[in-house]
Structure 1
Amino acid sequence: MSITLIIMVVVAVFVGALMKSMFGFGEAMVSMPLLALLPITLQTSVSLIGLAGLTVALLTVFSGWRHVERAVLIRLAVSTVIGIPFGLVLLHTASAIVITFGLGIFLIAFGGYSLVKKILSRAIERPLLNNRGWVFPFGFASGVLGSAYNFNGVPIVVYGTLQRWNPDRFRGTLQAHFLISGVLVVTGHALGGLWTFDALIYYAYSLPAILLATALGVFLNKRIHAGNFERYLFIIIIVLGILLLLPRGSN
């Protein structure tokens, strides 16, 4: 564990935490691909970002609590619990190359979707998912993707977009879900044996950067036009997904 590697890990965590505190999501979408390019194990990356994401959620959730869709949040929590074991099985049974390739495909698909979601939203005059039961498959997917890739927010982003949540409800519900699912996912990682000594060391080094990124993200969120920045973020996500599809040595 060299100083150079520690600095690179901290930078990757910082960038992801900054994205999450600014937009309410995006930490794992940015940090996981960056960490995948470094010589650390997938299990270490997953557990590290799980801990970092939970920390950011703890620091930001209270500011938007009054906007949370509480009934939806309860259903999400229940279905997320069901999905977590499936994600852990996927992480333990699939090879790192398969997971990394799948991660790359997923990043490209999600980035492409996100770039056109505003056009989609303008074309939709009312929510597409009126039945309350739709929340369960999205929650289940959140549990699977959260425990396997730390992408527990991605299905909720899609669900919130299709429900046409306003920005306050979107951010508040997403952060509350991150807090609950983050506790569940991190617990699943611990029980599943994903916590490594390296992950805890990297987390300790990254904690000051996480605190700084959270404060900076909240500050910038109130002072910049999120639309253009969000567009650039999703372009970067697509580029990172393409990078993960390129041949490289395994960890």
Structure 2
Amino acid sequence: MESVPLLDVSPAVVEATVVGFAVLAGALLQRVTGMGFALVSAPFLVLMVGPASGVILVHLCSLGTAGTILILVRRDIDWVRALALFAPACVGTVCGALIVGVTSVPVLQVAVGVLVVVSLSVPVLVTRLRVRPRLRYVLTSGYFSGLMGSTAGLAGPALSVLAVTTRWNPRAFAATMQPFFLLLAVFTIGTYLVLDPASVPTLSIPMWVVIASACVVGIVVGEFAARRLPLRAARAALITIALLGGVVTTIRGITAL
């Protein structure tokens, strides 16, 4: 008599479950800290559909989450600063794409990862370090956000440095990041579709449902958490997520060398 396995789960179900939890966690972090979606979900989405399609899929999800969160936090958004960040980010994205064409990606990942860790460690260790949110700092942060996003998939930490050093209110920062990431997602998706129309991700309807549902649940849970999270804890979460992104990117680059 043949034994019947107690748990017979198809690979598709396992994949949907893992991707669902990753997207849910990313959407939750996006609502609480203003960033973190790509850091958590991108590795799983890229693994599922490939590099180019994965980037588009990540930005499609970011488009949906940022657009939804934007409606919830619209009263706290600094629109002027969001647009001031977005304009140089587009320039940085194009520059990063050109750099990727002539430079080793692992080397770029190591360089960007180390830069993130050092940039965030200085204001954390030197707690009195504070600068005024002048326009040149905003423009510089936006540029490096686009540059680091297109070279190493790490757009958020450059903005975290600006938030930490200027003592930007975490709730206002999280709100302002939503129109920024929404516009950046539209720009990135458009760029990829122009350069490679075949990179559009093709998923089954159930997988699209899983991803969309995970985004909604993550935002709902994140909304509940954000309303009850003290400002100091929100700032600590923001720094932690950014540092984690820097460390993970550095390790990824070193292992690929």
Q: TM-score under structure 2 normalisation?
A: 0.74
Structure 1 residue 166 corresponds to structure 2 residue 184 = no
- The correspondence for 2:24, drawn from 14, 33, 42, is 14
Could you tell me how far apart the structure 2 residues matched to 1:117 and 1:232 are?
13
Percent identity over the alignment is: 20
Instruction: Show the counterpart of 2:64.
Output: 55
The Cα offsets for residues 130-162 of structure 1, whole Å up to 9 and x where unpaired, read as 3x2333332222233334554333322222323
Could you tell me how far apart the structure 1 residues matched to 2:140 and 2:70 are?
24
Structure 1 residue 186 corresponds to structure 2 residue 189 = yes
1:207 positional shift: 1.3
The Cα offsets for residues 9-66 of structure 1, whole Å up to 9 and x where unpaired, read as 3333222222112211111222234556x46522132111111111111011133333
Distance 1:7 1:89, change over 3 A: farther
Instruction: Show the counterpart of 1:219.
Output: 224
Letter in 2 for 1:169: A
Instruction: Show the counterpart of 2:38.
Output: 28
Segment of structure 1 superposing worse, 6-15 or 178-187 = 6-15
Distance 1:49 1:100, change over 3 A: farther
Instruction: Show the counterpart of 1:157.
Output: 160
Could you tell me how far apart the structure 2 residues matched to 1:204 and 1:90 are?
36
5 Å-filtered alignment, 1:118-157, equals 118-120=124-126, 122-127=127-132, 130=134, 132-157=135-160
Distance 1:87 1:6, change over 3 A: farther
Could you tell me how far apart the structure 1 residues matched to 2:54 and 2:176 are?
26
1:238 positional shift: 5.7
The Cα offsets for residues 99-122 of structure 1, whole Å up to 9 and x where unpaired, read as 3564365346535654664444x3
- 1:123 aligns to what SS in structure 2? coil
What are structure 1's unaligned runs of at least 5 residues? none
Distance 1:147 1:191, change over 3 A: farther
Equivalent pair of 2:70/2:175 in contact (CA under 8 Å): yes
- 2:228 aligns to what SS in structure 1? coil
Equivalent pair of 2:116/2:158 in contact (CA under 8 Å): no
Distance 1:235 1:145, change over 3 A: closer
Equivalent pair of 2:160/2:238 in contact (CA under 8 Å): no
Q: TM-score under structure 1 normalisation?
A: 0.75
Letter in 2 for 1:48: L
The Cα offsets for residues 191-239 of structure 1, whole Å up to 9 and x where unpaired, read as 2327635455565541111111111111122234436655664665466
What are structure 2's unaligned runs of at least 5 residues? 1-9
Structure 1 residue 206 corresponds to structure 2 residue 214 = no
